[in-house]
Every structure is written in structure tokens, then in C-alpha cells.
Amino acid sequence: MLRNRYIRWILTLICLLLFGIFVAYNIAEQKMCFFKASAVDCVTIGIAVVVSYYLVQKQTNHQKQRDIVSDIVLKMQLSFEQKELYDFSGQDRNTIMLRNRDLNNRIHILEELERDFGISNEVNFIRQHFDEYTSFIGDHIEDINYLIQSQNELRRPIELVSHKLLVTAIHLYK
């Protein structure tokens, strides 16, 4: 890693040195003609600089948004890795419902962004399996002991969602 870094610095310095030599040669050979430019040349350069700046800034903003969405997805994935999502030992009804509501809100954020980032299929899959999970819990929320014994049934949709969130994070950068 360190060796590659030095090689990059050396190559950069060589390129800058060659560019400087090229500029100095042109100035020496062409004297004052080197600095002459027509109004059309100046306007063309100005337009090119403005358009380039706009396009680079637009891409940078989109990349920042993509990074934020990726961060949300990866944090959600960590949330779905928690054992407490399928092992309800020592948890009360309110804790379970609040956690599900929080996860549901995060999925809703992804649903709002799915078109902009081309992750519609992934978000639909996540929503479908999370709804399956919450439906199972909703059907048996009054009987916590049954939910404690149903870890395998609860674990399957959670693991599917967790895996799909990783796939979604990777898909964001394709």
C-alpha cells in the first residue's frame, strides 16, 4: 500500500514536471503569441468551465445522496442482525412493537427513495418479508411464550431481509 502511494506521487510529479517543461517551451518558442486569445476562445473556455463545474457538482451531490442511502441500508442491515428480532426472551410487548415501528419507518424511507436509486425490486422484497414478519408477530403478540417458541419461523424472514439489504447496498454502487 505504502509503495503504491509513493509510485503515484512520483508519477504525479513527473507528469507535472513534463507539463511545466511543455508550457515553458511553448512560451519560449511562440513569445507573445502564446498568450493571445480571441474573444470566442475566451467565451468557449468560460462556457466549458461552467458546464464542467455544474456537471461535476451534480455528480458529487448524487454521490453524497447515494452514500447516505447506503449508510441507511447498512445500519438497517445491522438492525436486522440482532438476535432480539426473533428471540423475545425477556422482552415485553411494547419493546417489540416500538422496534418494529422503527424498522417499518426505515423501510418507508427506502420506499420513498427506491425510484431515484433503482432499488425498487429490493425494497419490495424487503417490504414483503418484513410484512410477513410483522404479521406473524401481530397475530401472536398477546402470547409472548408462543413467540419465544417460534424463533425459527421469525428468523427466516429476518435473515432474508438482512441478506437483501446487503445486496441493496452493493446494488447502489453498480
User: 144 is in which domain, residue-wise?
Assistant: 63-171
**Total number of domains in the chain:** 1
Q: Is residue 140 part of a domain?
A: yes
Q: Three-class SS of residue 37?
A: coil
Average pLDDT of the chain to the nearest whole number: 86
Q: What is the pLDDT of residues 4-49, one digit of tens each?
A: 777 878 878 887 788 778 777 776 776 666 566 666 776 787 788 8
**What is this structure's pTM?**
0.69
Q: Three-class SS of residue 118?
A: coil
148: which DSSP letter? H
Q: Is residue 118 part of a domain?
A: yes
Q: What is the pLDDT of residues 155-167, one digit of tens each?
A: 999 999 999 999 9
What is the mean predicted confidence (pLDDT) over 121-126? Answer: 95
Q: Is residue 72 part of a domain?
A: yes
Q: Is residue 132 part of a domain?
A: yes
| The amino acid at 29 | E
